[in-house]
Structure 1
Amino acid sequence: MSIVLPPLRVDDPAAFGRVAVLMGGEGSEREVSLDSGRNVFEALRARGIAAHAIDGMPALMRELQAQGAGRPAYDRVFNILHGGVGENGVLQGLLAALRVPFTGPGVLGSALTMDKIRTKQVWQAEGLPTARFVRLPPFATEDAIKAAVQAMGLPVFIKPSAEGSSVGVFRVADRESLSPAIAFAGQHAGELLVEQLVDGGEYTVGILGHVALPSIRIVPAGAWYDYHAKYVADDTRYLCPGLSGEDEDELRRLALAAFRAAGCHGWGRVDAMRHADGRFALMEVNTAPGMTSHSLVPKAAAQVGCDFEELCWRILETSLPTPPGAAA
């Protein structure tokens, strides 16, 4: 493995000041976010960083508004609030307006990548490979769904454009398995996509600063990598690195290009699939990836000698000002 992480930028925990570890919230990914947040909080504390756990954006806003009124300020935010306002640009916009540094991409990258459809449109414009898809409107009708499935050809995934952790994702292998997706779509207030099912292997690549970490091939025990396989099951296999030689280099190159094309910086994770003929298809970007015992960025970082505590430190370093002359 030739991947080498750069030297740490700071070695004194005081350089970070008081850090708010933002977790939880009220969305569909609350429990996963709380798990991730507790792990990050404990890791930062173990390294001597003045970390403080905060549950949800309203609590954070109250704390920030109370600064200067007898309560000390937070110098930066470690955002581990999965989904919703934690990843759609709302939190990022508020923190930018308040001039509070934070981890993860800014408003543009966060808002764009929360929308799978528009992320794919950007990748297509940049000549980056992604799975074919058909866009569906909110509250999609049964006829619209069936027409999209017919246009794509089975098997397909039907999924919300703006959800994470496989929430609301349906794997449709035949017409008999369409009913749950149709029922969900008819009640869903956001856009959906009917997406080509790429069945040649599932991969993910963590991004840390300017480095694409080793890829991970995900091999679930079941038919696909659903919520249970991600966060509950212990029989999902993670092969890291997921590929070797030129194939590994190409996947990591594509992941970094996809991350940057979507306006992202700092850290995140790019998911991809591989066709049976070896071609890659970029799927989505996660701008506040999980940091649980099942999560993938920590697994990839460990492959290059970066343990969980160091990983949290390095992620927090991305919230520091960019050194003069360094790439943004």
Structure 2
Amino acid sequence: MKEFGKVAVVMGGSSSEREVSLMSGQGVLAALQAQGVDAHAFDPAEKPLSALKDEGFARAFLILHGGQGEDGTIQGALEFMGIPYTGCGVMASAIGMDKWRTKLMWQAAGLPVPAYELLAADSDFATVVARLGLPLFVKPANGGSSVGVTKCKSVADVAAAYQAAAQYDPLVLAEKAVLGGEFSCAVLDGKALATVKIQPATEFYDYDAKYYRDDTVYTCPGLVGEQEQTARRLAEQAYRVLGADGWARIDFLQDEEGAIFLLEPNTAPGMTSHSLFPMCAREAGMSYEALVLRVLATTLESR
């Protein structure tokens, strides 16, 4: 497809989610090439970004996960080089990567989020447990794919979980467990496609459940009737408040009474065989190949 020119599928990188990014990237690359796009793999861990200009790439399909791929860093570099790219811009990427600041924005806009607290090495973990209750989740504020996330059932668990999360980011969150169901909603060009309900066989939707296990149960759409429409509206609002662009996935939880709480955004959604965005797209009648092409087409529009 000549209108796209030479396309770099930017994958891999050096974050803790490199392996997942490579899996997503290979799927995207194959789908683009199968549809006649002049697409090539590009790994910024193996060559400098300046090679995108040197090698004549016209645009970039960003499928980096975590670290510098989702935090606005590479987005800023591409802006500077004048290379159009898929996904959110610098601001939305940077904020969306930071779970704490995302929560602050959503709260300021009146959107519901689970109760949470910031943790530090000298935090009184017993007091945190008394406020949030058990179980609760401890997680690094920056990062994805559930890397460094622990479900805690005791005060001792919280102390150990803090140390584990702090290895990935100095900013660590404790978050009230909302246990009525875990969901995600794909948003493409500002329009929610569908929700998906996630029922892992593991303690929670961890790294293995997301990418390797075949016993996680997915239901799409995840809700029915007015609940589904409410969830989609909230996802679209969350997307807009974040300043998202192109595509993003909004994860949310439901409590036992059916109330929805926004969890976090994903501004570079996974595209592996286990990923949620392609599931939501299929529910909307869009194949994996069509989705990839539609996302790439957003680079033809002015940001």
Alpha carbons of 1:89 and 1:186: their partners in 2 closer, same or farther (altered >3 Å)?
Answer: closer
With the length of structure 2 as denominator, give the TM-score of the two structures: 0.96
**Where does residue 110 of structure 1 map in the other structure?**
93
What is the deviation of 1:149? 2.5
**Where does residue 5 of structure 1 map in the other structure?**
none
What is the deviation of 1:55? 1.1
What is the deviation of 1:187? 4.4
Equivalent residues in 2 for 1:141-160 (5 A)? 141=122, 143-160=123-140
Mark the runs of 5 or more structure 1 residues left unpaired by the alignment.
1-12, 323-327
**Where does residue 113 of structure 2 map in the other structure?**
130
**Where does residue 26 of structure 2 map in the other structure?**
38
**Where does residue 216 of structure 1 map in the other structure?**
196
The letter for the 1-side match of 2:256 is A
Does 2:78 correspond to 1:90?
no
With the length of structure 1 as denominator, give the TM-score of the two structures: 0.89
* Cα-to-partner distance string for 1:119-146 (whole Å, 9 max, x where unaligned): 0000000000111100124xx23x4434
Equivalent residues in 2 for 1:10-25 (5 A)? 13-25=1-13
What is the deviation of 1:58? 6.4
Structure 1 CA distance for aligned equivalents of residues 166 and 279 of structure 2: 38
Structure 2 CA distance for aligned equivalents of residues 203 and 217 of structure 1: 4
**8 Å Cα contact 1:56-1:81 kept in structure 2:** no
Structure 1 CA distance for aligned equivalents of residues 222 and 69 of structure 2: 29
Alpha carbons of 1:43 and 1:186: their partners in 2 closer, same or farther (altered >3 Å)?
Answer: closer
What is the deviation of 1:224? 1.1
What is the deviation of 1:157? 0.3
Alpha carbons of 1:43 and 1:183: their partners in 2 closer, same or farther (altered >3 Å)?
Answer: same
Cα RMSD (Å)? 1.6
Does 2:21 correspond to 1:55?
no
What is the deviation of 1:194? 0.5
Instruction: Count residues with an aligned counterpart.
Output: 303
**8 Å Cα contact 2:106-2:241 kept in structure 1:** yes
Percentage of pairs with the same residue: 46
The letter for the 1-side match of 2:95 is L
Alpha carbons of 1:193 and 1:182: their partners in 2 closer, same or farther (altered >3 Å)?
Answer: closer
Choose from 177, 189, 196 the match for 2:157. Answer: 177
Choose from 121, 132, 144 the match for 2:104. Answer: 121
**8 Å Cα contact 2:125-2:159 kept in structure 1:** no
**Where does residue 319 of structure 1 map in the other structure?**
299
Who wins on radius of gyration, i.e. which is larger? 1
Mark the runs of 5 or more structure 2 residues left unpaired by the alignment.
none
Query: Helix, strand or coil for the counterpart of 2:228?
Result: helix
**8 Å Cα contact 1:88-1:114 kept in structure 2:** yes
Structure 2 CA distance for aligned equivalents of residues 173 and 102 of structure 1: 42
Does 2:192 correspond to 1:197?
no
Query: Helix, strand or coil for the counterpart of 1:276?
Result: coil
Query: Helix, strand or coil for the counterpart of 1:213?
Result: strand
